[in-house]
Homo-oligomer: A and B are copies of this chain.
Amino acid sequence: MSTFTIDDRLLRSTEWVADLPLCRLFLQNDTRYPWFVLVPRIADVTEIYQLADADQTQLISEISLMSRYLKEELSVHKVNVGALGNVVPQLHIHVLGRDPSDATWPNPVWGVGVAKRYSTEALQEGVDRAQAWVMTKI
């Protein structure tokens, strides 16, 4: 068992928001969609079923937390949840908001087009807003 670290490819495309009970929570640095990434803080896991039962329960609770943030706070039309890992095998779960007017609707967002980065200020605003909301819920 190795030490828990986050894959560099995830770090390069995201900004840290918070450490939830199980997962490190990131905001994806891409203005095309309100998009979060949850990474369980457990080393050497690539599939959900490899987590202990209690961690699986906590994971779906954290997926739901961020889904509620997207729907109730950001008023997105639909939440998309995906655990793929075809490019970055480290277990990470995408939780993002979709709208019929967005760039790739109704298709998935992964592997399509090029990320549009936030400005430094807008990225910090996105992080601060999510962080403030999450901190009242955990």
The range of chain A's interface size is 35 or more
CB distance B67 to A87 under 8 Å? no
**Can you list 8 A-B pairs with a CB-CB distance of less than 8 A?**
A48-B60, A48-B63, A57-B57, A82-B108, A106-B111, A107-B110, A107-B112, A108-B108
A31 within 8 A of B: no
Enumerate chain A interface residues (CB-CB to B < 8 A): 46-49, 53, 56-57, 59-61, 63-65, 67-68, 71, 78-87, 89, 98, 105-108, 110-112
Q: Which of B67, B83, B85, B111 contacts A49 (CB 8 A)?
A: B67
Q: How far is the CA of A39 from the CA of B84 in the complex (A)?
A: 19
Complex copy number for this chain: 2
Chain A binding surface, main DSSP class: mixed
Known: A80-B83, A86-B80, A107-B110. A47 touches B60 (CB 8 A): no
How far is the CB of A84 from the nearest CB of chain B, in Å?
5
User: Which B residues touch A49, using CB under 8 A?
Assistant: 63-65, 67-68, 71, 79
Q: How far is the CA of A79 from the CA of B82 in the complex (A)?
A: 11
CB distance B86 to A83 under 8 Å? no
How far is the CB of A108 from the nearest CB of chain B, in Å?
4
Known: A60-B56, A61-B56, A111-B108. A78 touches B67 (CB 8 A): no
